[in-house]
């Protein structure tokens, strides 16, 4: 695989923490280049601070609501799975306990 990003054969990865784009050689694992992401707050004037804070607050509340909905659905799915396993267990006889003599 070539070592240069413009020739292909490299991986472009975005860091989940700082959103920096990294160009990585898959063979050696070396980072060939990086581009820092532009921050949303860069270049914001103090006059726009309230608008920016409102937007971030709305984004946070939207993400929170999305997480709550996901967890509600997850709980219901786990309850259903638990009930099906309980029903299966009622039909099967309980397993015999393992005794020390069985292990010899």
Q: What is the pLDDT of residue 72?
A: 84
Give the C-alpha separation, 53 to 47, whole Å. 11
Residues in the chain: 104
- Here the tokens at position 30 are 């070396």
Query: Who's near 44: CB < 8 A, 6+ residues apart?
Result: 52
pTM > 0.75: yes or no: no
Higher pLDDT, 72 or 56: 56
Give the C-alpha separation, 72 to 21, whole Å. 34
Give the C-alpha separation, 10 to 22, whole Å. 10
Q: What is the pLDDT of residue 14?
A: 87
pLDDT tens digit string along 60-72?
999 999 999 888 8
In 3D space, the residue among 30, 86, 38 whose CA is nearest the CA of residue 13 turns out to be 30
Per-residue confidence at 5, pLDDT binned at 50, 70, 90?
Answer: very low
Give the C-alpha separation, 38 to 24, whole Å. 20
Q: Which helix (H) or strand (E) holds 84?
A: helix 49-91
Per-residue confidence at 40, pLDDT binned at 50, 70, 90?
Answer: low
């Amino acid at each position: 695989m070539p070592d240069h990003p413009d020739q292909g054969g490299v991986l472009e990865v975005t860091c989940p923490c700082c959103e920096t784009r990294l160009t990585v050689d898959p063979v050696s694992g070396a980072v060939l280049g990086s581009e820092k992401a532009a921050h949303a707050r860069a270049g914001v004037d103090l006059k726009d601070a309230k608008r920016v804070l409102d937007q971030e607050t709305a984004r946070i509340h939207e993400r929170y609501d999305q997480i709550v909905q996901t967890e509600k659905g997850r709980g219901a799915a786990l309850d259903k799975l638990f009930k099906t396993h309980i029903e299966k267990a009622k039909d099967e006889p309980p397993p015999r306990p393992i005794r020390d003599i069985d292990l010899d």
